[in-house]
Amino acid sequence: MERKAAIFGGSLLRSILAFLLFVPFFVGQVYANESIRLQLKWQHAFQFAGYYAAKELGYYDEAGLNVEIVPANTQTDVYDEVASGRAQYGVGNSGILIRRDQGLPLVVLNVVFQHSPAVFIAKNNIITLHDWHTKNIMLEKSSDELLLYLERSSLSTADMTFIPHSFEPTDILSENVDIMSAYVTNEPFFLAQQNIPFKIFSPRSMGIDFFGDNLFTSEAEIKNHPERVAAFQDASMRGWQYALDNQETVISWILSRYKNTYSRDFLLYEASETYNLVEPKLVELGYINESRWYGIAKSYQALGKLSAEFSIKNALYTPTAPQDWRKVILVVGISSSIILALGVLVVFVVRTNNKLDHALKDSQKARTEAHKQANLDPLTELPNRRFFQSRLQELCRFASQEGSCFALFYLDLDHFKEINDIHGHQEGDRVLKEVSGRLLRILPLECELARIGGDEFTILLPNSPTVPNLEKIAEKILASLHAPFKVGAGMDLAYLSASIGITLGSRDATDPSSLLQFADEAMYSAKKQGRSRWCLFSKSLHQEMLDRQKLLKDLRLAVKNQELFVVYQPILDLQTQTVCKFEALVRWQHKERGLIAPDTFIPLAEESGLIIQIGDFVFKESIKQLSVWRETRHPDLIMSINTSPFQYDEAGKHLNHWYSYLEEMQVPGQAVLLEITENMLIRNTQNVSRQLLSFRDHGINVALDDFGTGYSSLAYLNELDIDIIKIDKSFIRDLDKGAASQALCEAIISMAHKLNLKVVAEGIETQEQASVLSAYRCDFGQGYLFAKPLSAYDATLFLRNSFPQ
C-alpha cells in the first residue's frame, strides 16, 4: 500500500512537473501565429522589401504573428482597408493626414521612406515649368506634394489640364501626354531601358520634402492590441534593416515567392533608389520626426487639403507598455486547480512579460534618443551640423543633376561672446534657445534652420530663390534680433545682432565645401562692413578674400622676419609749443607692395591673433627708445602706445608681462600712456575695467582715443580710470568751417577739464586750427602741422631742434 502511494505520489509529481513545463508552451501557443493582414499600396516590389524579409526570416513568427502581405491594385484604397478592419496594418504616404482629417482613425507607426519618390516626368523638350498650363498632365490620385510643387512655382492648377493616370510609362511618347506623375524608383528605369528621353522635375528641388512610405494602423488596433502593435513594429523594422543590407537576397525572394511582373534588373534599380529614399545612415529606421510632420501638415493646409484646426498630435504613434491582463487571467484560470507552485510560475510569466514590455519600450526610446543625439542639437533641438551637411549635400546633388537653384544663409551672432563672459554660459545658452525660437517664428515654412555650433546658424532655402526674396528674408532675420534679450538673475537686457552671408547653390558652386566657404566669406564681409547686416556672395568678393588670405600669409612672414617697424609722432603742449610726448605707431614695409597702411593690416592681425605679437613688439621697441631719450636729455618725456581690444582678453594676461619689462628698462609707469578706444569699452567692459585698475596700480596713465567716433558715453569717463581723451581728427578737420564744429570742440574740452581730464587734439594741419584749440585751452596737439610720424633717428633730431642747448 505504501509502495502504491509512493508510486502514485511520484506519478502525480511527474505529471505536475510535466504540466508546469507545458504551461509556458501552451500560453505562448494561445497567442502565437495571430493572423493579421498588412495591406500594401501597390503590387509586390522592393518598395516593401522589409516586410518580406521579416516574414521570410521568421521575425513575425518569433513575435507570434502570422502576417499575410496583401498587394494592391489601382482600385485599392489602403487607408479604407485598415480603417475598416479588413487589414490591421498598411503602407501609405503622407496623405494619411488628409484621410485622418476626413474622419478615418489612422495612426502613423513608423516612417520608412524619409523622402517621397514622387516626381514629374516630362517630354525631353520641356525645359521649365512656366508653360505647363498649355500641357496635358497625367496625374495619379494622392499627388498632393506634386500639386504643392506647382503652386510653389507660381502656377495655377485651376488653369491646368489633368488626365487620369494609365500607369504606362511609355505613354509619355503619346501626343495626348506631355507630363506624368511618377516614382523616381520606377518610371525612369523603364524609360531609360527603351532609350526614351525624358526630364525629371522634383518637388525636393523646391524644398518640398514629404515622407514617402509609412507604416500605419488604426486607433482600434493600438487600443485593443498594444503588444501586437509593438511586436509588429519591431519585427518590421528588423526586416527593413536586413533588406537594405542584403538587397540581392531579398530580390530573389520577391522574384520566387511573391507574384509580380518585374525583372531582376528593375528590382536592383529600385533597391538602389529605395536606399537613397530611406537614408538609413542618416536617420534611424522608423523614426518619427514630429517637426517634419508638422511642416507637412502646414503644407497640406496651405493647399486647402487639411482643415485649419487639424492637429498631428494623435496622428503619430507614441509607444506605451501596458500590461496584457488577458495572459494573467488565462494562466490563473488554467492553474486554479493545480498546486500552489503553479501560481509561482504565473507570477514568473507575468514578470517576464513585464520585463519584455519594458525592454521593448526602452529599446524604442534608446533608438529614438540615439537618432536625436546624432542629428539634433541638444540645446535648441534644431538640426545639427551633421544633419545640415547631409541636407546640403543632397541639395548640391539636385543642383548638379537638374540645374535647380537654392540658397544657403550662414548666420553668425555679433558679440555673443560678451554675453557668455559677462553673464555666464548658462545665460548664453538661454539666449541661443531664444534666438532659435525667434528665427523659427519668422522664417518661411520652406526654410530649413540648423545650428551648426556655438553661435553659428545656417538656413537652407531650396525653392529657386530670387535675390529680392533673399533680401526680404535676411532683413526679417535681422529685425527679429533687434528686441533685447533678458539675461541674468536681475533680468538685465542684452542686445545682439547678426552678420549674414548668403550664397546660391548652382550659381556660385555645386559642391558643399565651396558653398560653405563662399557663405562664410560673405558673412565675414558683412561683419567687416559693420555687423548687423547681410552680404550676398560674388566673384569680386571671393577675389577680395583671396587677396586678404595672401596678405595675411605675408603678414605672418613679416612678423616672423621682423619686417615691421615703429615710427613716432610728436605730441606738443599747445600752450608752450614744446614736445612732451610721442605716439608710437607700427608700420609695415611690404617687399612687393611697399608701405601698407595700418588700417589694412591691423584688422588682419586682430582676427588672426597676430596682434598679440605685434603689440608686444611695439611696446618693447617704443619703451626701449623712450629709455634712451629719457636717459639722455628728456627725463620727463612720455610714450603713448595704442592697444587692441584683443590684448585685454583672458583677464589681460597678454599685458601683465609689460610691467616687468618697464622695470628692466628702468622706465616708470608714469612715463607710459596706453591708448584704448570707446568701442573697446563696449566690447569687453569688465576685462578692460579690471586692466585699467591694474594700470593705475602701476602708475600707467590711460587715454581714450578717437573720442566722439564711438558711443561717447560720459559714464565711461566718470566711472573708469581714464586720464586723457583724444579728440578725433574728424572734429578738428572741420574747425575752420563753421561755428558748430568749434562749439562742439569747445564743449568737449570744457567737459573734460571739469572731469579733471587732459585733452589731446589729433590731426592738426593748419595754424588756424592750432590757434582755435589753444584759445579753448586744449592741453596737447598732434598732427602734420607739427610733424609727420618719424623714424627713431628723425624723432631724435626733432627733439634736439625743439630743445636746443
In three-state form (DSSP H/G/I as H, E/B as E, the rest C), the secondary structure along 167-196 is CCHHHHHCCCCCEEEEECCCHHHHHHHCCC
Does residue 156 form part of some domain? yes
Here the CATH number for the domain that contains residue 583 is 3.20.20.450
Residue 29 pLDDT exceeds 50: no
Which is higher by pLDDT, 796 or 159?
A: 796
In percent, the amount of the chain with pLDDT more than 70 equals 86
642 three-class SS: strand
Clarify whether residues 584 and 660 are in a common domain. Answer: yes
What's the one-letter identity of residue 786?
A: F
Taking each helix axis from N to C terminus, what angle separates 290-303 and 144-152, rounded to the nearest 10 degrees? Answer: 70
Here the CATH number for the domain that contains residue 165 is 3.40.190.10
Q: Residue 340: what pLDDT?
A: 54
Average pLDDT of span 644-673: 87
Here the CATH number for the domain that contains residue 394 is 3.30.70.270
Average pLDDT of span 67-82: 94
What's the one-letter identity of residue 608?
A: S
Burial of 711 (0-12, 13-18, 19+ CB in 10 A): exposed
Q: How confident is the model at residue 699 (pLDDT cuts 50, 70, 90)?
A: very high
The DSSP-derived string for 643-697 is --GGGGHHHHTTTTHHHHHHHHTT--GGGEEEEEEHHHHHHSHHHHHHHHHHHHH
Average pLDDT of span 406-415: 94
Q: Residue 50: what pLDDT?
A: 97
Round to whole Å and give the CA distance between 166 and 223.
39
Clarify whether residues 412 and 485 are in a common domain. Answer: yes
* Contact of 208 with 299, CB cutoff 8 Å: yes
Which residue, 206, 233, 262, sits at the end of a domain?
A: 206
Does residue 589 form part of some domain? yes
Does residue 170 form part of some domain? yes
Clarify whether residues 586 and 679 are in a common domain. Answer: yes
Residue 81 pLDDT exceeds 70: yes
Q: In 684-707, which positions are buried (b, 16+ CB within 10 angstroms) versus exposed (e)? A: bbebbbebbebbeeeebbbbbbbb
Q: What is the DSSP letter of 405?
A: -
CA angle, 559 then 564 then 566, to 5°: 140
Q: Is 635 left (phi over 0), alpha (psi -120 to 50) or beta?
A: alpha
Q: What is the mean pLDDT of the chain?
A: 85
Does residue 11 form part of some domain? no
Which residue, 291, 315, 339, sits at the end of a domain?
A: 315
Sign for the CA dihedral angle at 537, 539, 542, 547 comes to negative
What's the one-letter identity of residue 347?
A: V
pLDDT in tens, 284-307: 899 988 878 988 898 888 888 899
499 three-class SS: strand
Does residue 27 form part of some domain? no
Name the most confidently modeled range: 215-219, 429-433, 434-438. Answer: 215-219
Sign for the CA dihedral angle at 152, 153, 156, 161 comes to negative
Distance of CA 118 to the CA centre of its chain: 28
- Grid coordinates given for 416: 555673443
Of the candidates 611, 587, 618, 596, the one whose C-alpha atom is nearest the C-alpha of residue 551 is 596
Does residue 545 form part of some domain? no
Which is higher by pLDDT, 709 or 134?
A: 134
Q: Residue 428: what pLDDT?
A: 92
The Cα diameter of the chain in Å comes to: 145
Q: What is the DSSP letter of 578?
A: E
Distance of CA 153 to the CA centre of its chain: 27
Q: How confident is the model at residue 683 (pLDDT cuts 50, 70, 90)?
A: low
The DSSP-derived string for 332-371 is HHHHTTS-HHHHHHHHHHHHHHHHHHHHHHHHHHHHHHHH
Clarify whether residues 110 and 125 are in a common domain. Answer: no
Q: Residue 206: what pLDDT?
A: 73
Round to whole Å and give the CA distance between 799 and 765.
20
Q: Residue 344: what pLDDT?
A: 54
Average pLDDT of span 712-736: 78
583 three-class SS: strand
Q: What is the DSSP letter of 737?
A: G
Residue 7 pLDDT exceeds 60: no
Average pLDDT of span 795-804: 86
Q: What is the DSSP letter of 64?
A: T
pLDDT in tens, 578-614: 999 999 999 999 988 899 989 999 989 988 889 999 9
Residue 273 pLDDT exceeds 90: yes
Round to whole Å and give the CA distance between 605 and 625.
24
Round to whole Å and give the CA distance between 112 and 127.
32
Which residue, 172, 206, 240, sits at the end of a domain?
A: 206
Clarify whether residues 742 and 666 are in a common domain. Answer: yes
Does residue 591 form part of some domain? yes
Clarify whether residues 707 and 755 are in a common domain. Answer: yes
Residue 369 pLDDT exceeds 70: no
Clarify whether residues 218 and 103 are in a common domain. Answer: yes
What's the one-letter identity of residue 546?
A: L
Clarify whether residues 397 and 461 are in a common domain. Answer: yes
pLDDT in tens, 143-171: 888 988 888 777 888 888 999 999 899 99
Clarify whether residues 492 and 412 are in a common domain. Answer: yes
- Our count of domains for the chain comes to 4
Clarify whether residues 573 and 703 are in a common domain. Answer: yes
Which is higher by pLDDT, 528 or 85?
A: 85
Q: Residue 294: what pLDDT?
A: 86
* Contact of 89 with 232, CB cutoff 8 Å: yes
Residue 228 pLDDT exceeds 80: yes
Clarify whether residues 58 and 79 are in a common domain. Answer: yes
- What residues make up the domain containing 139? 118-206
Q: Residue 638: what pLDDT?
A: 97
78-92, 246-260, 646-660 — which is least confidently predicted? 646-660
Q: Residue 328: what pLDDT?
A: 43
Element (H, E) at 108: strand 106-111
783 three-class SS: coil
Q: How confident is the model at residue 229 (pLDDT cuts 50, 70, 90)?
A: very high
Residue 502 pLDDT exceeds 70: yes
CA angle, 220 then 226 then 232, to 5°: 100
Round to whole Å and give the CA distance between 771 and 162.
86
Clarify whether residues 419 and 493 are in a common domain. Answer: yes
Does residue 103 form part of some domain? yes
* Contact of 408 with 415, CB cutoff 8 Å: no
Q: How confident is the model at residue 321 (pLDDT cuts 50, 70, 90)?
A: very low
Q: Residue 718: what pLDDT?
A: 66
